Amino acid sequence: MDLLSLDNPVFRVYVIAASLAILKMIGHAFLTVYRMMHGHSGFLNPEDLRKTPLNPQPDAQQIAPNDYVERARRMHRNEGENTPLFLAAGLLFVAAAPPLWLAVVLLYGYVAMRLAHAYAYLSERDHEVRATFFTLGVVAIAVMSVYALAAALSH
Amino acid sequence: MDLLSLDNPVFRVYVIAASLAILKMIGHAFLTVYRMMHGHSGFLNPEDLRKTPLNPQPDAQQIAPNDYVERARRMHRNEGENTPLFLAAGLLFVAAAPPLWLAVVLLYGYVAMRLAHAYAYLSERDHEVRATFFTLGVVAIAVMSVYALAAALSH
Amino acid sequence: MDLLSLDNPVFRVYVIAASLAILKMIGHAFLTVYRMMHGHSGFLNPEDLRKTPLNPQPDAQQIAPNDYVERARRMHRNEGENTPLFLAAGLLFVAAAPPLWLAVVLLYGYVAMRLAHAYAYLSERDHEVRATFFTLGVVAIAVMSVYALAAALSH
């Protein structure tokens, strides 16, 4: 059987988890945009201070850092440090023909940990809470990578 | 037929769009490097202030932020928030066996929108113009992800 | 033969190089975390200034930029600008059925160049040294992308 095909139940789990992870990261881009538009602040580019339909009352302060927007940007950046690795590690892992239960744990586990991480980050939970969910997500990526590495070396 | 093979016309469209998107993002890295070297400024590392062949006249101001270089870095960063998701979403989408016309629209459409986004960013067009091309690119990624998710769930 | 399968020696080389590249980038995340925890500084979030088990003696200075931590963050960010492109370009390249020797050179070459880049960055070598390893890594990605693009266009 072709492992990288929807006929393979493990690949289906990968496609579901990967598409959810992609949509979540897109959500982070739009959270940042929403917070910029809502507060009319936290802009990055000088040209965004022009008077336009989306910015009817420009003000030089709009380009100053603003923690309401910066928090959304930090969340987005953290996602960008993890999710592209997850998307690739998941594919390598599927190609190594893992058991379905392990794929379910690691692939859905990553998505669940990133949802929990976003909740902890948005609600400003203690560093320990955020770091725990971050670490568990990274562990899922690392286990999948080591699994694929071992399979390729022993094939 | 194996969907993830050059024998599949949809996969060929993906390979063409994906390789162009990768080469474009590499171009952003080199635009940043060019602007740093051209203006001898916008450096990030203290060691870059040493006198070396590439920096014959070091000056502490070279490590201060410089908008000419920072604009190239913001463009690169924006690409990095989108293109890795595009590369993965495109692969999931191809594995879901979409019609060729839809693959052409979404895969080439993303590349076209990112070229337009780069033009708007470099030429400092109004926020609305840049945001429109950004949003259309993200929509292409989101549609491909939802298409793949639906195919995996209904398989 | 299915090219994207462990039965293909070129794909095995890709899986080995890609999993090592993923594990290396995870290492950069943990180097940043280690440096934050070790120096109790370089934090990014206001809530990280709370008194908790990991931060028994909070101090407002902990959220100020700190070059010991910022260097690890710059290394991580540089990795994030390159490794996701490598992971995708490598897959496109394998699907284009390259000769094994070229895959070995480009795929293992990228990993070797990124290890050398990390060494040059950590040990604060001159810009020219770091830039050379960076450029060679990018060239590997570009060659794989162009190879895949040419194969898709001529198929």
Residue C1 predicted with pLDDT over 80: no
Classify A84 as helix, strand or coil: helix
Contact criterion met (CB below 8 Å) for B91 and B17: no
Taking the C-alpha atoms of residue B154 and residue C95, their distance in angstroms, rounded to an integer, is 27
Contacts A127 to C, Cβ<8 Å: 43, 45, 47-48, 50, 52, 54-55
C60 touches chain A (CB under 8 A): no
Tell me what pLDDT residue C109 has: 98
Contact across the interface for A6 and B155, Cβ inside 8 Å: yes
Burial B113-133 (b: 16+ CB within 10 A, else e): bbebbbebbeeebbbebbbbb
* Domains of chain A: residue spans and CATH: 9-154 (1.20.120.550)
Could you write out the three-class secondary structure of chain A? CCCCCCCCHHHHHHHHHHHHHHHHHHHHHHHHHHHHHHHCCCCCCHHHHCCECCECCCCHHHHCCCHHHHHHHHHHHHHHHHHHHHHHHHHHHHHCCCCHHHHHHHHHHHHHHHHHHHHHHHCCCCHHHHHHHHHHHHHHHHHHHHHHHHHHHHC
The rounded distance, in Å, linking the Cα atoms of B69 and B43 is: 9
Query: Please, which residues have CB within 8 angstroms of residue C78's CB and are 6 or more apart in sequence?
Result: C117, C121, C134
Neighbours of chain C (3+ CB pairs under 8 A): A, B
Q: Is A22 on the interface with B (CB under 8 A)?
A: yes
Partner-chain contact B85 A84, CB within 8 Å: yes
Would you state the pLDDT for residue B109?
A: 98
For this complex, say whether ipTM is above 0.90: yes
| pTM value surpassing 0.95 | yes
Cα separation, C81 vs A97, in Å, equals 29
Mean pLDDT over C31-55 rounds to 92
Distance from CA of C53 to the nearest CA of B (A): 33
Q: Which of A6, A20, A22 is the closest to B141 by Cβ?
A: A22
Q: Cβ of C19 and A146 within 8 Å?
A: yes
Mean pLDDT within A81-107: 98
Neighboring chain B residues of A46 at a CB cutoff of 8 Å:
67, 124
| Minimum CA–CA partner of C91 in chain B | B15
Q: Which residues of chain B have pLDDT under 70?
A: none
Which residue is closest to A6 within chain B, CA to CA?
A: B152
- CA A119 to CA A115: how far, in whole Å? 6
Contact predicate B151/B89, CB 8 Å: no
Average pLDDT over residues C106-131: 97
Which residue, chain included where needed, has tokens 């590997």? C140
Nearest chain B residue to A11 by CA distance is: B152
Q: Cα(C139)–Cα(B46) distance, rounded to whole angstroms? A: 26
- In percent, how much of chain B has pLDDT > 70? 100
How close A59 gets to chain C, by Cα (Å)? 26
Collect all residues with Cβ–Cβ distance below 8 Å to A132 and sequence separation of at least 6: none
Q: Mean pLDDT over residues C110-132, rounded? A: 97
What's residue B11's pLDDT?
Answer: 98
Chain B contact probe: residue of C8, C71, C85 with most B CBs at under 10 A: C85
Q: Check if the beta carbon of residue A45 is closer than 8 Å to that of residue B126.
A: no
For A135, half-sphere exposure in the C-beta direction (CA atoms, 13 angstrom radius) is 10
CA-CA distance, A34 to B81, in Å (whole number)? 16
Contact B110/B21 with Cβ under 8 angstroms? yes
CA dihedral (B96, B97, B100, B102) positive or negative: negative
pLDDT band for A39, please (50, 70, 90 cuts): confident
How far does chain A reach from its first CA to its final CA, in angstroms?
A: 17
pLDDT score for B35: 96
Residues of A in contact with C7 (CB under 8 A): 155
Q: Which residues of B touch A49 (CB under 8 A)?
A: none
Q: Is C36 helix (H, G, I), strand (E, B) or coil?
A: helix
A138 vs B39, residue with greater confidence: A138
Residue of higher predicted confidence among A33 and C54:
A33
- Give the single-character DSSP code of B108: I
Q: Does C9 touch chain A (CB under 8 A)?
A: no
Residues in chain A: 155
Close Cβ partners of C70 (under 8 Å, ≥ 6 residues apart): C42
Non-local CB neighbours of C65 within 8 Å, separated by 6+ positions: C42
Tokens 């000769």 -> residue: C99
- Distance from the C137 Cα atom to the nearest Cα atom in chain A, whole angstroms: 18
The answer to whether residue A148 neighbours chain C at the CB level (below 8 Å) is: yes
Q: Is the pLDDT of residue A1 over 80?
A: no
| Residue at token pair 């692969």 | B91
Q: Chain A residues with CB inside 8 Å of B82's CB?
A: 29
Instruction: Let me know: does B93 contact B147? Beta carbons within 8 Å.
Output: yes
**Does A92 touch chain B if contact means CB atoms closer than 8 Å?**
no
Q: What is the least distance, in Å, from the CA of A52 to any CA of chain C?
A: 32
In the beta sheet, which residues pair with residue A52?
A55
Q: List pLDDT tens digits, range B31-60.
A: 999 999 998 899 999 999 999 988 999 998
% of chain C with per-residue pLDDT over 90: 92
User: If you compute the radius of gyration of chain B from its CA atoms, what whole number of angstroms results?
Assistant: 19
Inspect the interface and report whether the beta carbons of B153 and A11 lie closer than 8 Å. Answer: no
* pLDDT of C140: 98
CB–CB contact C141 B26 (8 Å) = yes
Distance CA B142, CA A22 (A): 8
Angle, CA of A101, A104 and A107, to the nearest 5°: 140
B131 contact C CB<8A: no
Search chain A and give the residue with CA nearest C50. Answer: A126
Residue of C nearest to B88 (CA): C88
Q: Which residue of B has its CA nearest to A24?
A: B142
Percentage with pLDDT > 70 across chain A: 100
pLDDT at A81 over 80: yes
Tell me how crowded residue B155 is: count the other CB atoms within 10 A of its CB. 14
Reported as a pLDDT band with limits 50, 70 and 90, residue A65 is confident
Contact C154/B at CB under 8 A: no
